[in-house]
Chain A
Amino acid sequence: MATIDTHIPADVQHGDHEHDHEHEHHGNFWTNYIFSQDHKVIAKQFLITGMAWALIGGTLSVIFRLQLGFPDANLEWLRPLLGGWITDQGKIDTEFYLALVTMHGTIMVFFVLTAGLSGTFSNFLIPLQVGARDMASGFMNMLSYWFFFLSSAVMFTSFFISTGPASGGWTAYPPLSALPQAMDGSGLGMTLWLVAMALFIVSTLLGGINYITTVINMRTQGMSFTRLPLTIWAFFFTAIIGLLSFPVLFGAALLLIFDRSFGTSFYLSDIFIGGEALPHVGGSPILFQHLFWFLGHPEVYIVLLPALGITSEIIATNSRKPIFGYKAMVGSMLFIAILSFVVWAHHMFVTGMNPFLGSIFTLLTLIIAVPSAVKIFNYVTTLWQGNIRFTSAMLFSIGLVSFFLTGGITGLFLGNSAVDIQLHDTYFVVAHFHLVMGSASFFGMIAGIYHWFPKMFGRMMDERLGSIHFWVTFLGVYFVFFPMHYIGIAGFPRRYYSWTNFETFSSFADLNMLVSIAAIITLSAQFIFLFNFFYSIFRGKLAPANPWGATTLEWTTPRHPKHGNWPGEIPHVYRWPYDYSKPGAKEDYIPQTIPYSETPESNLPHENELIKLEMEGTGAIVVDEKKH
């Protein structure tokens, strides 16, 4: 363990010594809040940016829900916002409708649930929970945020160009996305989309490398892998998945750029458009789909695993019980992480891909249901015989498990190629992934904010507002997405501006209206949260050191941890993070920093044997410190 400290950047390393407090005050506004290398500040930057994007993404969805729920309504009043995208008849332009869908998807998946979720909580929690002063490279971490910011700026710019933002779906399938003749959005809008995505991938990779390195190299004394909180396991797997899959998207995007701008034919072949035959031959649009989904499917777990990790932590803490099946939870996450790389083609059963591949991917896809089911069972068992406190964070975590169950189980239909034929690209798919990936991850993110807000800002959020926020959002989400299953079974295709052209699809106007109203209410409820968030930063009740009675390391820091996190020595870890309600213990939780030697009354037999090792461990660190 002597190697730990050598990785810490020079300015942080001083944290062990007395003069570090003086050192902290030297930073000016720019280095402290803008180009900060402190993981906590960077986490907050990701959080605020992610929240801004979530608001934009949510608003876009409400605009297109207006069209779907109230097809006859006059939307002239949106003209100040949308300008020329509102037609003379007061309707949303049909192509802008697709742009709305596309940008909603891109923003929510990448900017909110990848950057906003992983960026915030991996950054905030990894050093605090493994006991490190900062990330392995604070500078790279800072770059990670600023690449994300740059990417955001480029993506945001694309809303304001005359041909509109990218509009070929968030999956950006060529040839539609490759040919400006095919739709306006595939012109400059698509170029900006690709540039933004390339920058975004750079940001993700910089972040991911940091997360992995920090978890492997910078755990404090005693923090073995088996003592890591499940949050850290989740962030660790997420970062590895991202590191392996995002470069493939980068490659896919690069080839698309070549096809668009340099006349290559990676994805294009035999195209007659706009009255002329294009010179491209030999390419395959299916190739892009393979490359895209090789990231796209792991991306689902990049979005979901951090939320599941956060939930594991919150459910255990608020049930006052150890998480049930710690090893099974880690194992299932590992299994999911591995399998996530070999199920991508279940998005492509009816694209003309070789049907034999379809068989293989059906098999692999349905296998992934097993570890997912194990996770749900373990969550439910954790609740059993607990002593459950319904904090806002806990409510959102329960909501997550509920969505994960509701949305996950419909994967059994879609993963089975024969059944998928009918359901593919219908509202059934929309319902499925919005519940299991969208809403579940979103709830994980919100739960995380409620839970770690006291650590982030030193104040508590208002629990009553949190409760209202939860109930409106929870019911709202179910009312938005549950009816979509029915619509999907009836065969309604996705990304339709209106259904009135078809006799088969033209019913259910009332159901669509219900969905739209629920969507509007759900979005409005988020303003309660925003108010609560910003109000509490300045006026919330002061947070006690450990408001939830949690065992993990972050609650041993001061109320406002400085850069370096702990004023003195980094605490040592002696036990796993789930010693809640241990028989014999005085309190209903034992922090990770309490050695077994101090808790003889509650130790299990094998833990008593560890006491000896604890003594040796302390000796070793003394030797280390002399070396410096």
Chain B
Amino acid sequence: MMSLIIGIGVALIVVILYLIFRIGNLVSLVKDEKAATQSRNRTHAFLLMAFMILSLIGFYYWSYVHFDEYVLPVASEHGAITDHLFWITMAICVIAFTLIFIVMFWFTYAYQYEEGRKAAFFADNHKLEILWTLIPAVVMALLIFRGLRAWTDITGPASKEAEVIELVAQQFAWTARYPGKDTELGKIDFRLIDASNEFGLDLTDEKSYDDFKSQTLHLPAGKEVLLKIRAKDVLHSVFLPHFRVKMDAVPGMQTQFKFRPMKTTAQMREETGNPNFNYEMACTEICGKGHFSMRFPVVVEDEETYNKWKAAQEAWLKQNPDYYDKYVPKEKKESAMIKSGMSPDNGSLKQVELKTVSVN
């Protein structure tokens, strides 16, 4: 019933609009067409001018008043540099935009049609052309120069002391893998992935024994971090907005991004005045229906706390003793036991059985 009433209402409005249009048409037949065109012309010239003035005022006002709401605080070393470059570009763009905008709409106002006036026959001017080819070229050269220097630094090789962390993407979750005490990530193979071995750890590689999994990305402040990124199923993309970090996760190809986080979560809470502030990581490459929900919490601590946290983590192998029994080669069992921090009697299935018994 309601939709019927709405339908009739809409139909009535359409009919009324059509009638207005028809009446307007008939009236215009009587009116002097030249005068009508003239007045319409004046109206448009005026409206375009008004549009220019109001939109520039609106743009500047909004940007000034709401500046802080839109600018994410920066928390990484290179982020400060790219932000600086961003604001240089912004200054150039806003100046150029404002000038051209004003000139264009001033022209449309100043040179609106007048009966009997003749436009200038101004078809060419080489000096002008060369001038406004050169000016943008010089500005571009400046931007390119600064941009490339920053880009080369950001994408250059990481230092040897960098903290290596692996991020693994899948539909629709992230996991992080830390290399453990040996600071080297163990080999992986996608064919070894199963419900428990979600990294596809290759347990014939000794480096994998002390690797551990984390559901939160912990980062040390002030230390260089090298993210090694991969995906299991489709493309994803690591996006750490506060650190100005973005890099795709590609199945079959490891990608990486190095950066230096500068502010701990606590410092950032203080700076933003938001006691609930948290760093976050998002996915920015379309990956399926859960694309928008791939949130990964990020915690930045000072180095001491970070190291303590790391030391307290259990190696993946220790958490999955049945894999120790099944996949670790005999000659490496001892080293696996030591590296993963298992006690000699907790490696085997017996331990699990014991636990079950005790629960009962």
Closest A residue to B124 using CB positions = A325
Neighbouring A residues of B124 by C-beta, 8 Å: 324-327
Q: Please, what's the 1-or-0 string for A421-452, where 1 marks a CB less than 8 Å from any CB in chain B?
A: 11011100000000000000000000000000
Given A383-B104, A387-B118, A271:B284 Cβ within 8 A: no
Interface membership of B348, Cβ < 8 A: no
A501 touches B295 (CB 8 A): yes
Of the candidate stretches B41-49, B216-224, B350-358, the one touching chain A is: B41-49
Which one of A273, A319, A494 lies within 8 Å of B111 (CB-CB)? A319
CA distance A281 to B189 in the complex (A): 12
The answer to the question of B5 belonging to the interface, with a C-beta cut-off of 8 Å to chain A, is no
Q: Does A499 make an interface contact (CB < 8 A)? A: yes
**Bound Cα distance A410, B123 (Å):** 30
Question: A176 to nearest B CB, angstroms?
Answer: 4
Query: Which chain B positions have C-beta within 8 A of A410?
Result: 93
Restricting to A268-314, which residues have a CB under 8 Å from any CB of B?
Answer: 268-273, 275, 277, 281-286
Residues of A within 8 A of B112 (CB): 388, 390
CB pair B147–A182 under 8 Å, yes or no, is no
Whether A502 is near chain B, meaning CB under 8 Å from some CB there, is yes
Encoded as 1 (CB less than 8 Å from any B CB) or 0, chain A from 141 to 163 comes to 00000000000000000000000
CB of A537 within 8 Å of the partner chain: no
Nearest-neighbour CB distance to chain A for B359, whole angstroms, equals: 29
Residues of A379-423 whose CB lies within 8 A of B:
379-381, 383-390, 395, 398, 401-402, 405-406, 409-410, 412-413, 416-419, 421-422
Q: Beta-carbon contacts of A174-209 to B below 8 Å, as 1s and 0s?
A: 011001001100000000000000000000000000
Given contacts A270-B252, A370-B133, contact A175 B151 (CB under 8 A): no
Measured between alpha carbons, how far is A172 from B171 in the docked complex, in Å? Answer: 17
Q: How far is the CA of A489 from the CA of B74 in the complex (A)?
A: 12
Q: Name the interface size band of chain B.
A: 35 or more
The verdict on B137 contacting chain A, using a C-beta distance below 8 Å, is yes
8 Å CB contact of A390 from B44, B85, B136, B290: B44
**A497 and B292 form a contact (CB under 8 A):** yes
Q: Which residue of B101, B122, B171, B235 has the most chain A CB atoms within 10 A of its CB atom?
A: B235
Question: Bound state CA distance, A566 and B179, in angstroms?
Answer: 79
Contact A388:B108 (CB < 8 A) given known A326-B123, A424-B246, A581-B120: yes
What number of residue pairs across chains A and B have CB atoms under 8 A from each other?
332
Whether B190 contacts A271 by the Cβ 8 Å rule is yes
| Complex contact A359–B282 (CB within 8 A) | no
The reply to whether A422 and B241 contact each other, CB–CB distance below 8 Å, is yes
- Cβ of A273: which chain B residues have Cβ within 8 Å of it? 171, 232-234
Encode B28-46 as 1/0 by CB contact (under 8 A) with A.
Answer: 1000000001001100110
Q: Which A residue's beta carbon lies closest to that of B79?
A: A422
User: Are A94 and B290 neighbours in the complex by a CB distance under 8 Å?
Assistant: yes
Write out the residue numbers on chain A whose beta carbons fall within 8 Å of the beta carbon of B45.
388, 390
Q: Which residue of B lies closest to A389 (CB)?
A: B113
Which of B24, B62, B190, B284 neighbours the largest number of chain A CB atoms within 10 Å of its CB? B284
B345 within 8 A of A: no
Q: Is the CB of B291 within 8 A of A412?
A: no
B144 partner residues in chain A, CB cutoff 8 A = 362-363, 366, 416
Contact B252 A496 (CB under 8 A): no
A319 cross-chain contacts in B, Cβ below 8 A: 111, 119
B282 x A493 contact (CB < 8 A): yes
In the complex, whether B121 has a CB less than 8 A from a CB of chain A is yes
In whole Å, how far is A333's beta carbon from the nearest beta carbon of chain B? 14
Given A496-B291, A501-B293, also A416-B137 (CB < 8 A): no
Contacts of A385 in B (CB 8 A): 111, 119-120, 122
**A352, B250: Cβ atoms closer than 8 Å:** yes
In the complex with contacts A176-B286, A182-B288, A183-B288, A272-B108 CB distance below 8 A: no
* B151 in complex: contacting residue of A284, A355, A582, CB < 8 Å: A355
Please report the C-alpha to C-alpha distance between residue A284 and residue B251 in the assembled complex, in whole angstroms: 8
Q: Kindly supply a per-residue 1/0 record for chain B positions 150-173, scoring 1 wherever the CB is within 8 Å of any chain A CB and 0 otherwise.
A: 111011000000000000001100
Q: Return chain B residues, CB-CB under 8 Å to A465.
A: 21
Most buried by B among A377, A398, A464: A377
The answer to whether A398 touches B48 (Cβ under 8 A) is yes
Q: Within 8 Å CB of A402, what residues of B?
A: 101, 104
Q: Do residues A173 and B286 form an inter-chain contact, with CB atoms below 8 A?
A: yes
A residues 319-333 near B (Cβ < 8 Å) are 319-328
- A32 interfacial by beta-carbon distance below 8 Å: no
Tell me, yes or no, whether A588 is within 8 Å of chain B by CB: yes
Chain B contacts for A284, CB-based, 8 A: 252-253
Cβ of A505 < 8 Å from any Cβ of B? yes
Q: Are B113 and A412 in contact (CB under 8 A)?
A: no
Known contacts: A387-B119, A421-B244, A424-B284. The answer to whether A270 contacts B190 by CB under 8 A is yes
Interface size on A, residues (CB 8 A): 117
- Flag if B291 contacts A405 (CB, 8 Å): no
Question: What 1/0 mask marks residues of chain B from 269 to 292 whose CB sits below 8 Å from any chain A CB?
Answer: 000000011101011111111111
Tell whether A9 is near chain B: CB-to-CB under 8 Å.
Answer: no
Q: How far is the CA of A385 from the CA of B234 in the complex (A)?
A: 57
Contact in complex: A389, B151 (CB < 8 Å): no
Residues on B with C-beta less than 8 A from A424 are: 246, 284
How long is the Cα–Cα vector from A467 to B40 in the complex, in angstroms?
Answer: 9
B55 adjacent to chain A (CB < 8 Å): yes
With contacts A362-B147, A486-B70 taken as known, whether A325 is within 8 angstroms of B104 at the C-beta atoms is no
B191 at the interface (CB under 8 A from A): yes
Whether a CB of chain A sits under 8 angstroms from the CB of B338 is no
CA distance A388 to B233 in the complex (A): 58
Task: Indicate if the CB atoms of A176 and B288 lie closer than 8 Å.
Answer: yes
With contacts A269-B251, A416-B85, A425-B246 known, is A464 near B235, CB below 8 A? Answer: no
Near A by CB (< 8 A), chain B positions 42-91 give 44-45, 47-48, 51, 55, 59, 62-63, 66, 69-72, 79, 81-82, 85-86, 89-90
Q: Which of A417, A419, A491 meets B89, CB within 8 Å? A: A419
A381-B122, A410-B93, A464-B28 given; 5 more Cβ-contact pairs under 8 Å: A182-B287, A327-B124, A405-B104, A419-B85, A493-B282
Chain A residues within CB distance 8 Å of chain B: 93-95, 98, 168-169, 173, 175-176, 179, 182-183, 268-273, 275, 277, 281-286, 319-328, 350-352, 355, 358-359, 362-363, 366-367, 369-370, 373-374, 376-377, 379-381, 383-390, 395, 398, 401-402, 405-406, 409-410, 412-413, 416-419, 421-422, 424-426, 462-465, 467, 471, 474-475, 478, 482, 486-487, 489-491, 493-499, 501-505, 507-508, 578, 580-583, 588
CB-CB nearest 4 A-B residue pairs: A269-B252, A355-B155, A352-B255, A390-B44
Interface residues, chain B, with chain A CB atoms under 8 Å away:
21, 24-25, 28, 37, 40-41, 44-45, 47-48, 51, 55, 59, 62-63, 66, 69-72, 79, 81-82, 85-86, 89-90, 92-93, 96-97, 100-101, 103-104, 107-108, 111-114, 117-125, 128-129, 132-133, 136-137, 140, 143-144, 147-148, 150-152, 154-155, 170-171, 190-191, 193, 195, 200, 229, 232-235, 237, 239, 241-242, 244-248, 250-253, 255, 276-278, 280, 282-293, 295
Please name 5 pairs of A and B residues whose Cβ atoms are closer than 8 Å in the assembled complex, sorted by A. A93-B289, A383-B108, A421-B82, A422-B241, A493-B283
